[in-house]
């Protein structure tokens, strides 16, 4: 089978990073198409062409995974597909749905994180909604951050109670790699708020460290393929949005 083709905006991790981490952990061959030069069929034009494809079921937005004739969008949907085919999710039907359930909860959290800096309109600059963003971020760091991380901490507690090293067993699932990205991103974007809640999340911190130490992940994190967090992605460090 030809390598998967991943399409995502260049220059930022964004939602595409959740897919990349799963591909890397699974040792799955893929091409990050948009990062290739336009002369080699890459660049933003390659993504625009795919979004404007008149036939089939065109996706609304990236990330997009192309597997032969199959074109998939939405992070949770892509990961469900990869998880089932590459051992990154439980093999039974109930387990597959439970993994998807957790990933959809990650999706909800990602949306709330994004809305801390763009609570009014995604298409407007942060500076145009700074007042609203400060109010939204205060609610997120004060109430929602601990609620979400506390939930995933309880999930890990239950998994460990069943003798699992990771959420579903002794090897990571795509949910584990997604939680790694969440922990890394939150620590970058909200260092003060994160330091407040982190002591109450020992299992999540241990999971973060365990995923970072996985051989393929560690090699990826040390490579140029892993872009740095920056203020164009989901996780943005605006000190005024972090709690005092």
Query: Which tokens is 127 given?
Result: 């500076």
Please name each of the domains of the chain with its CATH number.
Answer: 4-86 (3.40.30.10), 93-215+231-241 (1.20.1050.10)
pLDDT mean over 212-224: 98
- Average model confidence (pLDDT) across the chain: 96
69-78 per-position pLDDT tens digit: 999 999 999 9
pLDDT mean over 199-217: 98
pLDDT mean over 128-150: 96
Cα–Cα–Cα angle for 103, 163, 81, rounded to 5 degrees: 30
209-217 long-range contacts (CB < 8 A, ≥24 apart) are 210/165, 210/166, 210/172, 211/25, 211/172, 211/176, 211/177, 211/179, 211/180, 212/180, 214/25, 214/172, 216/24, 216/25, 216/27, 217/21, 217/24, 217/25, 217/177, 217/180
With cut-offs at 50, 70 and 90, classify the pLDDT of residue 22. very high
Percent of the chain with pLDDT over 70: 99
**Which residues is 144 bridged to in the sheet?**
none
DSSP reduced 3-state for 160: helix
Residue 56 confidence (pLDDT): 76
Compute and round to an integer the Cα radius of gyration of the chain: 18
pLDDT mean over 183-203: 97
With cut-offs at 50, 70 and 90, classify the pLDDT of residue 243. confident
Residue 97 has pLDDT above 70, yes or no: yes
With cut-offs at 50, 70 and 90, classify the pLDDT of residue 1. low
| Residue pointed to by tokens 């032969």 | 68
40-64 per-position pLDDT tens digit: 999 999 999 999 987 778 899 999 9
Peptide bond before 63: cis, by omega within 30 degrees of 0?
yes
Residue 137 confidence (pLDDT): 97
With cut-offs at 50, 70 and 90, classify the pLDDT of residue 244. low
**In terms of Cα–Cα distance, which of 95, 118, 99 is closest to 107?**
99
d(CA 3, CA 66): 9
Residue 45 confidence (pLDDT): 95
* Ordered DSSP codes for 76-139: HHHHHHHHHHHTSS-SSHHHHHHHHHHHHHHHHHHHHHHHHH-SS-TTS-GGGGHHHHHHHHHH
């Amino acid at each position: 089978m030809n390598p998967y083709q991943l399409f995502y905006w260049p220059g930022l991790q964004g939602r595409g990073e959740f897919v990349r981490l799963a591909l890397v952990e699974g040792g799955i061959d893929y091409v990050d198409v948009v990062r290739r030069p336009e002369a080699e069929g890459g660049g933003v034009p390659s993504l625009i062409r795919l979004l404007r494809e008149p036939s089939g079921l065109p996706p609304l937005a990236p990330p997009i995974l192309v597997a032969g004739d199959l074109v998939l969008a939405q992070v949770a949907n892509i990961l469900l597909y990869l998880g089932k085919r590459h051992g990154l999710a439980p093999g039974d039907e109930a387990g597959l749905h439970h993994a998807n359930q957790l990933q959809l909860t990650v999706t909800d959290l990602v949306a709330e994180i994004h809305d801390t800096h763009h609570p009014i309109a995604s298409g407007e600059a942060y500076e145009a909604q700074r007042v609203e963003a400060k109010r939204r971020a205060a609610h997120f760091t004060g109430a929602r951050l601990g609620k979400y991380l506390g939930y995933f901490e309880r999930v890990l507690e239950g998994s460990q109670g069943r003798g699992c090293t990771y959420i579903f067993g002794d090897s990571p699932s795509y949910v584990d790699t997604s939680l790694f990205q969440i922990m890394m991103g939150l620590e970058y974007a909200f260092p003060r708020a994160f330091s407040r809640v982190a002591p109450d999340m020992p299992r999540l911190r241990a999971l973060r460290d365990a995923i970072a130490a996985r051989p393929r992940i560690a090699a990826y994190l040390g490579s140029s393929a892993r872009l740095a967090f920056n203020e164009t992605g989901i996780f943005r460090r605006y000190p005024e949005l972090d709690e005092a």
